[in-house]
Amino acid sequence: MAEKDSSLLKQMKTLKDTQDDIQGMSTWCLSKGLSIAPKIISTWSRAFKEAEKGSHRVSLFYLANDIVQHAKRRKIKEFVEGWNKVLVFAMPLVRTDPEVCRKVKRVLNIWKEREIYEANFIRSLEDIIDQKSESEPIDFEESVKTYRFSEFATQCAKVVSSSERTERAKKAFEATKLNFSKVLEMREKFKEYKPGDPRITEFYASVSALREYCSSLKSEREDKLRMIRIAEIGNYFYSRTRREAKVVTKAYKNFENRLKDIHEKVMECEGTLPSPVPSPEPNAPSPVDSEPEEVPVKSVIASKFGGNGMLSSVVSVVQKEPYSSRRSV
């Protein structure tokens, strides 16, 4: 199964922007039945995320368009509803390329005209592409220079904390059991209450709980928007790093191939090279240090002064001559 998944991912990563290639892949996906529809959609999502070029994302989006439209006509809801879940996460990846945005929006307009998806859902996808939010557009090239994963981890912790706070505020508000949908009716009854009535105190407590709940929701929303912003920067950072790593890996592989070629050439020339100095036999005795022979001093002097006769005269002179005279020489 893993080999099939890998093969499917490879096919999607090498998908060409041609009608034959896209329709052929679409027909193959639809013919495999509903059992592997989730696997096809998840593989498409991964290929869309890992695509290195915007043009390849366009090809993958055209593939999704072909599959979804045919599935809609055949009433195969597994493909239509399945892609509905991953499109939300795919839209932020097309923001950086205006040409890709234009082509994707054209497909979204076709879906709207043919009622492939509901108009509200398509509008939400367009808003994601246009990034219609309170946050400023992201300058990815500048943002990646200061990106740190620890910042994303810290922001995730803030989101968890704000979500827990919102949940507590929600439970506190629900505990008041006050129905704010009937505001006009409550206003009329409020006039009948006298000062000090416990229902007045209960009403103000409910209003306070509602305000706390709204404040928590606002804070949670801001934290999540910040987290999404950092996540998009991180996605751009790691995508670019992955491309750079692939370049370095390719360079090392080329270097490895060059070394292999050189090694093969050296091995071919090995027979023509001169033989090295032969090693001694395994049973050959090891060399032993010999002690130097003692040479008599007289023989050394004799060799310097030309025989024993001259040696005797030199020795006699040395013995007869006083020390003082020898010192002055």
Per-residue pLDDT of the chain (329 residues; tens, 9 = 90+): 445 567 888 899 889 889 999 999 999 988 876 778 889 998 998 899 888 888 899 999 999 999 999 999 988 888 988 888 889 888 888 877 888 889 999 999 999 999 999 988 898 888 888 875 445 556 677 787 888 889 999 999 999 999 999 999 999 988 887 776 666 676 677 777 777 777 777 878 888 888 899 999 989 988 988 898 888 888 888 888 888 888 899 899 999 999 998 888 888 887 776 666 666 677 767 666 655 555 555 555 455 445 555 545 544 544 454 544 444 44
Give domain status of residue 285, yes or no: no
Give domain status of residue 90, yes or no: yes
**CATH (domain of 72):** 1.25.40.90
Q: Please indicate, yes or no, whether residues 27 and 121 belong to a single structural domain of this protein.
A: yes
Q: Please indicate, yes or no, whether residues 16 and 121 belong to a single structural domain of this protein.
A: yes
45, burial (CB in 10 Å: exposed 0-12, middle 13-18, buried 19+): buried
Q: Please indicate, yes or no, whether residues 127 and 241 belong to a single structural domain of this protein.
A: no
Q: Please indicate, yes or no, whether residues 212 and 93 belong to a single structural domain of this protein.
A: no
Q: Please indicate, yes or no, whether residues 157 and 116 belong to a single structural domain of this protein.
A: no
Indicate the pTM of the whole model: 0.46
Q: Which of 223, 258, 293 is the last residue of a domain?
A: 258
Give domain status of residue 235, yes or no: yes
Q: Please indicate, yes or no, whether residues 24 and 72 belong to a single structural domain of this protein.
A: yes
Q: Please indicate, yes or no, whether residues 183 and 127 belong to a single structural domain of this protein.
A: no
Q: Which of 132, 157, 175 is the last residue of a domain?
A: 132
Give domain status of residue 241, yes or no: yes
Give domain status of residue 272, yes or no: no
Rounded distance, CA 128 to CA 241, Å? Answer: 25
Give domain status of residue 322, yes or no: no
**CB 106 within 8 Å of CB 142:** no
Q: Please indicate, yes or no, whether residues 121 and 233 belong to a single structural domain of this protein.
A: no
Integer CA distances (angstroms), 319 to 227, 243, 303, 316, 329, in order = 108, 96, 20, 5, 15
**CB 78 within 8 Å of CB 37:** yes
Give domain status of residue 224, yes or no: yes
pLDDT value at residue 68: 93
Q: Please indicate, yes or no, whether residues 217 and 167 belong to a single structural domain of this protein.
A: yes
Rounded distance, CA 133 to CA 202, Å? Answer: 37
Q: How many domains does the chain have?
A: 2
Give domain status of residue 320, yes or no: no
Q: Please indicate, yes or no, whether residues 172 and 229 belong to a single structural domain of this protein.
A: yes
Q: Please indicate, yes or no, whether residues 94 and 75 belong to a single structural domain of this protein.
A: yes
In total, the chain counts a number of residues equal to 329
Q: Which of 231, 258, 285 is the last residue of a domain?
A: 258
The residue range of the domain holding 153 is 142-258
- pLDDT, tens digit, for every residue of 8-33? 888 998 898 899 999 999 999 888 76
Q: Please indicate, yes or no, whether residues 9 and 67 belong to a single structural domain of this protein.
A: yes
